[in-house]
Amino acid sequence: MTSIGTGYDLSNSVFSPDGRNFQVEYAMKAVENGGTAIGIRCKDGVVFAMEKLVVSKLVKPGANKKISTVDKNIGIVCSGLMPDGRHFVSRARDEAASWRGLYKAPIPTSALANRMGSYVQAYTLYSSVRPFGLTSILGGWDSEAELPVDGQVGSGPKVGAGGKKEGQKRGGPFLYMIEPSGLYWGYYGAATGKGRQSAKSELEKLNLSEGDITLEQGVKEAARIIYVAHEDSKDKDFELEMSWVSSLDGPTKGRHEEVPKALREEAEALAKKVIEGEDDDDEEAEGGATGDQMEE
């Protein structure tokens, strides 16, 4: 932070002599203290999970959802300034609606990531705005079926040349993470927020690039990872929020929605067990070291 006081960090859209945009870097600082959010791309869908810190017990439990849906098949979870997150989601919904208006079909996840990346980037260009204090994980399931055009009411001739390709492969799971700079990458597993470091190392252990992990496994891993990432701020209570989107023949029928309560609780119980198991191991190790003294 040697740059503080040089004046190059006082306005957005200004480069410092060594080519940095400090306001964007400061915006990233806003993200670093937000609740941990992760997304996992599984072979048959995408899972999102969010660590929601309970700031007061006056807040209604289970309300104030932080994971949002865009169109039907896309989910967004943000870490950072929550009001910026709502703005971001609102824009994403407008983009999805305008795509439908033009193409009469749902927006592909990649196209939405691209448009939202551009939108966030635009907020680094002008001194009249500030960057988003936000990193968002955006993912969805693009339909594997041949979708009717919006408003289509008939199926057309069933015989004759239709110009349709047999066995064409389309759709699938997609996951992106967009940073305050507007930069985005595609991910197998993405993590942001306070506990991102430990979440990332847990995600890496899953070998997601192999593409073996199923959605159900993904839900359980996601819950566990949030619990692991929460270990560093153990003193604070949190709620686990989870959502998922599956293929058309999967549990959500291609829609992005909240993970059912029963499954979430099952995943949470498992996660707690794993965490406690680790703690027990630690205690056992300690116990072993002091064993001699205890006998006395």
Partner 1 sequence: MFRNNYDNDSVTFSPQGRIFQVEYAGEAVKQGSVVVGIVSKTHAVLAALKRNAEELSSYQKKVIPIDTHYGVALAGLASDARVLSNFMRQESLRERLTYGRPMNLSEIANRIGERAQINTQQYGRRPYGVGLLISGVDRNGPHLFEFQPSGMVNEMLATSIGARSQMARTYLEKNLDQFADATKEELIKHALSALKDSLSQDKELTVDNTSVGVVGGGDLFKLYEGQEVSPMLASAFGEGEGEESMEVDT
Partner 2 sequence: MNHLPQAWGRPRDDVYGAYNASFLPQDGPKQHTQSPIVTGTSVVAMKFKDGVVVAADNLASYGSLARFTDVKRLRQFNTRAVLGFGGDVSDMQHLDRLLTSLSLRENYADPGSSGDETDTASLDAKNLHTYLSKVMYKRRTDFNPLWNHILVAGLDDADKPFLASVDLLGTTFSAPSLATGFGAHLAVPILRRVAPDEAAAETLSMDDAVNAVKEAMKVLFYRDARSLDKYSIAVIRKDGVQLKEDEKLEGQSWAFAETIRGYGTQIH
Told to check if 162 binds partner 2 by CB under 8 A, we report: no
Q: Please tell me whether residue 33 binds partner 1 under the rule CB under 8 A.
A: yes
Span 70-109, contacts to partner 2 by CB under 8 A: 71-72, 93, 96-97, 100-101, 104
Beta carbons within 8 Å of 209's beta carbon, 6+ residues apart: 188
The token pair that represents 86 in the structure block: 């709502």
Question: Rounded to 5 degrees, what angle do the CA atoms 227, 231, 234 make?
Answer: 110
Binding span for partner 1 by CB under 8 A among 94-102, 130-138, 247-255, 270-278: 130-138
Kindly state the smallest distance separating residue 38's Cβ from partner 2, in Å. Answer: 21
Q: Are 13 and 124 in contact (CB under 8 A)?
A: yes
Supply 15's token pair.
Answer: 């480069």
Q: Cβ–Cβ contacts within 10 Å for residue 32, how many?
A: 13
Give bridge partners of residue 38 from the DSSP assignment: 49, 191
CB 98 within 8 A of CB 91: no
**Parallel, antiparallel or unpaired: strands 189-192 and 184-186:** unpaired
List the one residue from 8, 16, 20, 28 that touches partner 1 (CB under 8 A): 28
Helix (H, G, I), strand (E, B), or coil: what is residue 1?
A: coil
The answer to whether 43 contacts partner 2 (rule: CB under 8 A) is: no
Sheet holding 67-70, edge to edge: 67-70, 74-80, 134-142, 172-178, 184-186
The footprint of partner 2 on residues 255-284 (CB under 8 A) is 255, 257-258, 260
Judged by CB under 8 A, does residue 200 bind partner 1?
A: no
Give me the least distance between CB of 258 and partner 1, in Å please. 15
Span near partner 1 by CB under 8 A; candidates 31-39, 110-118, 161-169, 213-221: 31-39
CA–CA–CA angle 15, 19, 24 (5° rounding) = 60
* Nearer to partner 2 (CB atom), residue 206 or residue 245: 245
Q: How many positions of this chain bind partner 2 (CB under 8 A)?
A: 24
Contacting range for partner 1; rule: CB under 8 A; set: 26-34, 97-105, 183-191, 274-282: 26-34
Which of partner 1, partner 2, none has residue 234 at its interface (CB below 5 to 8 Å by kind)? none
Q: Which of 6, 33, 127, 152 forms a contact with partner 2 (CB under 8 A)?
A: 152
Contact between 54 and partner 1 per CB under 8 A: no
Q: Are 245 and 39 in contact (CB under 8 A)?
A: no
Residues that bind partner 2 (CB under 8 A): 68-69, 71-72, 93, 96-97, 100-101, 104, 150-156, 251-253, 255, 257-258, 260
